[in-house]
Structure 1
Amino acid sequence: MTAEIIDLTERRNKRIVRVVRRRPEGFDPYGLVIPAAALVGLAMWSVFIINTFAIVSRARPPT
């Protein structure tokens, strides 16, 4: 039974290695998703904060 399990895991590992090796070098699209999302979020927050300050500073009545 344990020999069968080891055989299955070895076969699965070989398949994973084969799939991983098939990818071209330096191609990692999923590694760019999180940094790109963080940059977009930062840009949106900066625009939101700048616009909020602009609206607040314009809304003051002239003295």
Structure 2
Amino acid sequence: MVIAGDAEALDEALAALEADGVRVRRVAVDYASHTRHVEAIEDALGEAFADIRSQAPLVPFFSTVT
């Protein structure tokens, strides 16, 4: 499971989980993707990626998953 949030709230949550015997570790990332914390840059990202278009892959993809 991954949780994300403000640093102080995360510190409290991790301490509480560790106190309950839950093994935890902090994930070293610079941003909390998939949370409300990226809403502030949503418009800028939309503009930055506006000209990117999808295309057929250039490298064949093989999977063992059906």
With the shorter chain as reference, the TM-score category is under 0.3
Structure having the higher Rg = 1
Higher relative contact order (CA 8 A, sep 6+): 2
Q: Which has the higher helix share?
A: 1
Provide the TM-score with structure 2 as the length reference: 0.24
Provide the TM-score with structure 1 as the length reference: 0.26
